[in-house]
Amino acid sequence: MAIDPDEKNWTWVLHEQCPECGIDVSALRWADLAPITRRTADRFADLLLAEPVPSQRSSDDRWSVLEYACHVRDVFVLFRGRLILMLEQDDPQFENWDQDVTAIEDDYGGQDRDAVAAALRTSGHAMADAIDAVGADQLDRPGRRSDGSVFTVASLSRYFLHDPLHHLHDIGGEPLQVVREPSR
């Protein structure tokens, strides 16, 4: 059964705490984003591998753990590409991405659990490495979506991070503790 498409504009999470998952990305320090991204990728992969029937949906309006894992893997890849684009071009416009169409066309529910878990770790760590590589003088570089939403490197990275953290909540994962790690 198809899930109703998510047509919300989630950019408000940049300015306030999400009432569904409790995440407030505006409160995170820049130095926390990459470590949290790595831990989120690892936690998602671990939960996927531990799920007895990862392709089974808990309800008609929720993706399965496998489908959420595929989506988060793709979010890591997509936003790493957008981040790199913002660092290499002046004010790029991002291509549209319809996550619901991608889920159907790529058969999220039929993908191999082990391959998805490995790709989650790889793509999540690659996104974290990309965040780590951003210089302080690059945080305000702009980019925009076709709907007119404007981001900076800093705001795009925070906006991105809400998505996998929110979906970790969706699958019942324990919230990650924000551990302050030393800045590099």
Task: Give the pLDDT of residue 38.
Answer: 97
Task: Give the pLDDT of residue 132.
Answer: 98
pTM exceeds 0.85, yes or no: yes
User: What are the extents of the domains in the chain?
Assistant: 40-53+62-170
Task: Give the pLDDT of residue 1.
Answer: 55
Q: Which two tokens stand for residue 145?
A: 């979506």
Task: Give the pLDDT of residue 177.
Answer: 55
Task: Give the pLDDT of residue 182.
Answer: 43
pLDDT averages per 10-residue partition of the chain, 184 residues: 63 91 92 96 96 88 93 97 97 91 92 98 98 98 93 97 94 63 42
DSSP labels, 52-116: SSTT--SSTTS--HHHHHHHHHHHHHHHHHHHHHHHHSSSPBPPP--HHHHHHHTTGGGS-HHHH
Q: Is the dihedral of CA 81, 83, 87, 92 positive or negative?
A: positive
Task: Give the pLDDT of residue 29.
Answer: 94
Task: Give the pLDDT of residue 7.
Answer: 65
Of residues 8, 49, 50, the one with CA closest to residue 149:
8
Which residue type, as a one-letter code, is found at position 103?
A
* Fold of the domain built from segment(s) 40-53+62-170: Four Helix Bundle (Hemerythrin (Met), subunit A) (1.20.120)
